[in-house]
């Protein structure tokens, strides 16, 4: 695969690449650069953890990128996930691995790393202190939004370590590409700034869009504002905002039917967000929405953009769109749901499901 095709693969799912020129130079000099994505193990997996991450990862692997999946157990501990119970957090991490398998990720093709192992040595903490020394306290406080906390929110002294730890991870894993959500942008930009100060390898940052919660984004909010978007993203700790990888078809239909979906409105509409990010195999995929003859019969649209035009023109009713989206979600979720109906996967799911979710 040539360099431009690889870049197009990345551009296909990224909201932002910092910078595309650096990514091009990276591919020109390294056939198999190393990328990573990291997660706090906590709670039951929603579709952004399963469907979105699996799609992005496949694109990265197709481009010849070596990938590291990072289970940030001590980060979840600092962030008081699952009540700060480290054993529950690590069980949730094992469950997360099963979710990746259920979503079609061949875990033999990726390297799974736990924070507890990466942090086990003086080299990590030496690098951590260098990061902290190069970063102001105000800069760290601004970066706590990566934890799902608001800037200015009261945090513990330990939680102030979080941004510098995340930056340290990048250098300790020798990462070329940070492939995380837009909500992690501040950590990745901080890593690039620290790299410049110390002349360390500066990572390229590839940020994917955030999946919206079912509540959507009210009209008047700038959907291109990443900070504003964070308030409305899908959250695994908020059942009212999320569709989970274990939801039954009945649950999916109920949630989708209650989702924010005004007539003719696409911006801030979570159903179009899901279609664009995870439900269509290709954005150019021909779409057929089945409808009774009395409501106009089946509706054809030429890909995602065609569906947007049809909806904005008022030619598709929200309930018909909801029926289509619910059916697509069921197609994508059903294999993962079935994966957890037996064996070790079922045991892990049942155990994690019993934990009290905290933030």
What is the domain partition of the chain in residue ranges? 3-208, 247-339
Full pLDDT tens readout for the chain, 359 residues: 899 999 999 999 999 999 999 999 999 999 999 999 999 999 899 999 999 999 999 999 999 999 999 999 999 999 999 999 999 999 999 999 999 999 988 888 899 999 999 999 999 999 999 999 999 999 999 999 998 888 788 899 999 999 999 999 999 999 999 999 999 999 999 999 999 999 999 999 999 999 999 999 887 776 666 666 777 888 877 778 899 999 999 999 999 999 999 999 999 999 999 999 999 988 889 999 999 888 889 999 999 999 999 999 999 999 999 999 999 999 999 999 999 999 999 999 999 999 977 76
Distance CA 156, CA 81 (A): 14
The encoded tokens of residue 35 equal 């990328």
**pLDDT of the residue at 235:** 80
Instruction: Give the CATH number of domain 247-339; options: 3.40.50.150, 1.20.58.760, 1.10.240.10, 1.10.3720.10.
Output: 1.10.240.10
Instruction: Give the CATH number of domain 3-208; options: 3.40.50.620, 3.20.20.10, 1.10.3370.10, 3.40.50.720.
Output: 3.40.50.620
Distance CA 323, CA 68 (A): 37
Contact between 334 and 283 (Cβ < 8 Å): no
- CB within 8 A of 235, min separation 6: which ones? 46, 148, 213, 241, 242
The encoded tokens of residue 47 equal 């579709």
Instruction: Give me the DSSP letters along 249-267.
Output: HHHHHHHHHTS---TT--T
Residue 83's region, left for phi above 0, alpha for psi from -120 to 50, else beta, is: left
Place of tokens 């509540």: 215
- Cβ neighbour number for residue 10 with a 10 Å cutoff: 24
Instruction: For residue 86, give the 3-state DSSP assignment.
Output: helix
- Which neighbouring-strand residues pair with 178? 36, 205
Whether this prediction's pTM lies above 0.85 is answered by: yes
């Amino acid at each position: 695969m040539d360099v431009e095709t690889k870049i197009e693969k990345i551009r296909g799912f990224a909201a932002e690449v910092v910078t595309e020129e650096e990514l091009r130079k990276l591919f020109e000099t390294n056939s198999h650069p190393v990328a990573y994505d990291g997660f706090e193990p906590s709670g039951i997996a929603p579709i952004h953890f399963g469907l979105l991450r699996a799609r992005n990862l496949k694109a990265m692997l197709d481009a010849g990128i070596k990938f590291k999946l990072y289970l940030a157990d001590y980060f979840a501990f600092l962030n008081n996930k699952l009540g700060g119970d480290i054993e529950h957090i690590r069980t949730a991490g094992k469950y997360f691995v099963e979710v990746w398998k259920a979503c079609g990720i061949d875990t033999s093709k990726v390297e799974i790393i736990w924070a507890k192992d990466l942090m086990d040595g003086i080299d990590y903490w030496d690098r951590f202190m260098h990061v902290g020394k190069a970063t102001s306290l105000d800069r760290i406080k601004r970066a706590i939004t990566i934890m799902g906390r608001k800037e200015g929110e009261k945090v513990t002294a330990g939680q102030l370590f979080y941004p510098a730890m995340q930056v340290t991870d990048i250098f300790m894993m020798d990462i070329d590409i940070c492939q995380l959500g837009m909500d992690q942008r501040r950590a990745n930009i901080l890593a690039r700034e620290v790299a410049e100060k110390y002349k360390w390898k500066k990572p390229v940052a590839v940020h994917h869009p955030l999946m919206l919660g079912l509540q959507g984004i009210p009209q008047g909010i700038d959907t291109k504002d990443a900070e504003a978007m964070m308030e409305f993203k899908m959250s695994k700790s908020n059942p009212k905002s999320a569709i989970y990888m274990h939801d039954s078809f009945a649950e999916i239909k109920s949630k989708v039917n209650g989702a924010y979906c005004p007539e003719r409105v696409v911006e801030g509409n979570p159903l179009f967000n899901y279609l664009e990010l995870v439900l269509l195999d290709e954005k150019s995929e021909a779409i057929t929405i089945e409808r009774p003859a009395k409501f106009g019969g089946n509706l054809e649209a030429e890909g995602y953009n065609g569906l947007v035009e049809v909806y904005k023109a008022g030619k598709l009713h929200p309930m018909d769109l909801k029926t289509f989206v619910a059916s697509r979600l069921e197609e994508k979720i059903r294999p993962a749901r079935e994966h957890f109906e037996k064996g070790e996967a079922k045991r892990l799911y049942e155990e994690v499901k019993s934990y009290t979710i905290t933030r």
